[in-house]
Each structure stands twice: as structure tokens, then as C-alpha cells.
Structure 1
Amino acid sequence: MNRADLSRVFGELMYGLEEHYREKTFQTQYSNLPTYEIKNKRAVPMDYDVFENGFFIPENVYIIATMNDIDRSVEAFDFALRRRFQWIEVKANDVMKDALEGMQKNNDIHKGIKVSEFVESVKH
């Protein structure tokens, strides 16, 4: 997330992501644009406007992203993100062994490598 310009990515929808705005309609600058549907692999204008009464973000929309919180460029929008999103810290050392064992199990390469020994050597 810290490599994206979030105001351009989310725009006015940023506040719509907040929990107390979910499932409630709000107007956007795009309210007057026609809506389209796919028919025969082509986008065609719809007979009705699905956003006529406003736009909303359902409760079941999840945004999953990674972020390097050491990056100093994050400080400018860190507060805005922290109040809108739940944060789960995942440390590489805690998940590396399971991830590597899964990759080794699902591929026929590097079968001779002892993952636990490799992980210990990388941690130090």
C-alpha cells in the first residue's frame, strides 16, 4: 500500500470503506455516468442506473494488502489507514518455515533441501 497513491486508488470511496459507512449509500462524482453490463462479451449500457440512489460498499468487501511500515513515506497517510483498516502484523520469520515447506511439497524441485536448516540459516 505504501507504493500507491491512495487518494488516486480509492478517491472519494476512502471514507466509504469505514465501518460506519458500510451498506449506506452515498453520492460520488460518478453518479451521473451510465452503468454497463456485459452481454455477449461486450459492455452495453444498462436500461437502469444501479447507482441512481447512490453508491455503497457492502460489508463483505475486504481489501488485503501488504505494507512496509518502516518506509518513512507511509507516515503521511498512516493515521488515515489505521483508522479505516484492521492491521494484522505478520513477521517473515514466523511464517517462513511453513511457507517454504508448502512450496517444497507442492513442487518437485528442491526436495533435497532441509527447510528447517535453511530457515535457521536465513534468520541469523
Structure 2
Amino acid sequence: MVALPSASPTDPHHDDVPGLLARLNLVTGHLELVGRLDRATAHLLHDAVSALLLTSCAQWTLDLSEATVGDHHGLRAIATAYRRATRHDRQLTLRGASPTLQRAALQLSGGGHLAGAGAVVPN
């Protein structure tokens, strides 16, 4: 398991940057975000998806149970993760996201309909 914090404790502006922790299991394809996903932290989701693309894991879970999507950059990061997954024949499941967040991410990604909360985002 790999954990990627958004800022180091020695960063002088650490208090100014909302934090995000990304816990990534490269074997199971489970990615858990803890904290605020926004403009300052969206790169962590991108980096985690890049790491997942290097694995043979075809089913990914993005757990947002302990995350807050703070702005449209955070929402776009989720939509981009979905697009990247589908372009590489991977399946992405959102866990812990509200139905409203799931619909918004799907609309931005150009995806189809969603069967319900916690459902697999369709290819």
C-alpha cells in the first residue's frame, strides 16, 4: 500500500494548503482519499491513477467516504480518473460518493447513466 500526502510537514505553507491523503493498494486497485480534493490536491488523484494504470488490476475502487470535493477542480479530477480508466479498459467504482456527486462526475466525464449509489461506473 502506498500513501501519498499532499504536503510535507516541513512545508512552510502547510497550514495554508488543505490536506489530502491518498491510500493506494496496487494489488486490489483500492484508492482511498482522506481530506479535501480540490485544485491544490487533485494531482494526487491523477498520480494514483497513473500508478494503477501500470498494474494489471482491471477493477478499481475510488473510496470518497472520508473526502470532501472542495471545488470544480476536485470534481473534474474524479471525471478525468473515470475517463482514463475507461480508455484503458478498466472499471471504476465510486464508494462513499453521494448520488449527486456521482451524476456530476459522470456528466463531466461523458459517461452514461449510473445505476445507484456505490454502483460501478459504466464503461
Q: TM-score category by the smaller chain?
A: under 0.3
Greater relative contact order (CA < 8 Å, ≥ 6 in sequence)? 1
Q: Which structure has the greater CA radius of gyration?
A: 1
TM-score by length of 1: 0.26
TM-score by length of 2: 0.26
